Structure 1
Amino acid sequence: MAQTKPAAAPVAAAPATAAAAPKLVPAQSDIAFTFRQMGVPVDGHFKKFDAQLAFDPKNAAAGKVTLSIELGSATLGDAATDAELVKPEWFNVKKVPTATFQSTALKALGGGKFEATGKLTIKGQVKDVVVPVALAQAGGTTTATGAFAIKRLDFNIGEGEWKDTSIVANDVQVKFKLAITGMAPL
């Protein structure tokens, strides 16, 4: 009867736990943007996004991060304005519903600070971006925060009459707070 003891089961369970990938907690996360319209700051955010993460803070260079954002989930807090954002002049969600960030390199800078270099794709336009990221851990959750700037016209955001940067400025500040579970300790 001693031969029926399942020796392989505990061995199989251990690698699955060790290989568990970090997971985004969307309800505790936010991706926001700020731009200026006629000199006045306008704040918005995306309500729907997801991330695929393969990242160990102690081996950042081996990591990969992919973020996908549903452009149709953008909101400025006003239904009429939000209805404009989905149109071809702005995000053109019928043609290109998703924006993505795909890391090409991750670098540890020390003290919980990292740098993510990658490709940002919006409306079919691909640009290289460098994103500073700070990680903090508490209670089993890792919070990744950071901010970076883009030029909206680089991504054809605001076409036609909206190319005029005296009305809507070209600079857009992107800020994020991503809550992640299952990440290795810093």
Structure 2
Amino acid sequence: MKSTSSHTMRLQSVRRATLAGLASLSLFGAGLAHADVDLSKSTVIATTKQMNVPVDGKFRKFSAQLNFDPAKPTAGSANVSIDTGSYDLGADDYNKQAQGKEWFDSAAFPAATFVSSAIAPAGGNQYRITGKLTIKGKSQTVVVPVAIASQGATQTFDGALPIKRSQFDVGTGEWKDTSVVADEVVIKFHLVAAKK
């Protein structure tokens, strides 16, 4: 039987790993801008619950091919790739566990991707971006709600997207039990991009 402290440490790493995967979802928002995303000013936080306690994690690296004109939103597109090993869980041992086969399996699946299929106005500065999210080789069609605002030479993109980690096989084996690490993960993002 595993010690309580060891089990708790593994749970924390799993939570954060799950959060990192979720964070990749929020990055779709980056694909909404026809501009370069400023990572130093942008944040992507994935929040899950471990034994009903919220845990946040950040995803650090991604690339995006962006095309968005607010005058022609339906003609826009987004193609985003997320490095599944680029999160910061606060400790190297947690990071390594999250990269493992039970969670992201980063060796086999180094990238999570989002490819948009439609962008629809939702009133005011609100948009709904439909696309395919792929994590750990599993794909789901998702709709990402995004608020876009312009100020000076920059545009900001804000939103939150709930996903189910089980739909992407994130958290297998003993971690498949959602009573310990919740199934739902919420990806919250604030992205800042320079206008072109």
Normalising TM by the smaller chain, what interval?
A: 0.7 to 0.9
Give matches, 1:35-184, under 5 Å. 35-182=48-195
Letter in 2 for 1:173: V
Letter in 2 for 1:158: G
In the TM superposition, what is the alpha-carbon distance from 1:171 to its structure 2 partner? 0.4
Normalized against structure 1, the TM-score is what? 0.84
Residue by residue over 1:45-79, the C-alpha shift from the partner in whole angstroms, topping out at 9 and shown as x without a partner, is 10111221111011111000112111101222233
CA RMSD of aligned residues (A): 1.1
- The structure whose Rg is larger is 1
Corresponding pairs, count: 163
Looking at both structures, which has the greater relative contact order when contacts are Cα pairs under 8 Å and sequence separation is at least 6?
2
Conserved 8 A contact 1:49-1:68: yes
Q: Secondary structure at the match of 2:145?
A: strand
Report sequence identity in percent: 46
Letter in 2 for 1:175: K
Q: Secondary structure at the match of 2:100?
A: coil
Indicate whether 1:25 and 2:27 are aligned: no
Residue by residue over 1:99-126, the C-alpha shift from the partner in whole angstroms, topping out at 9 and shown as x without a partner, is 1111100011221111100000000000
Q: Secondary structure at the match of 2:183?
A: strand
Q: Secondary structure at the match of 1:57?
A: coil
User: Which has more strand, going by share of residues?
Assistant: 1
Letter in 2 for 1:42: V
Distance 1:96 1:42 in 2: 24
Q: Secondary structure at the match of 1:28?
A: coil
Conserved 8 A contact 1:26-1:49: no
Distance 2:172 2:114 in 1: 22
Q: Which runs of 4+ in 1 moved over 4 A?
A: none
In the TM superposition, what is the alpha-carbon distance from 1:91 to its structure 2 partner? 0.6
Conserved 8 A contact 1:74-1:85: no
Distance 1:104 1:49 in 2: 19
Distance 2:122 2:79 in 1: 20
Normalized against structure 2, the TM-score is what? 0.80
> What stretches of structure 2 of length at least 5 have no aligned partner?
1-33
> What stretches of structure 1 of length at least 5 have no aligned partner?
1-20
Distance 1:103 1:179 in 2: 19
Conserved 8 A contact 1:57-1:108: no
Distance 1:80 1:40 in 2: 21
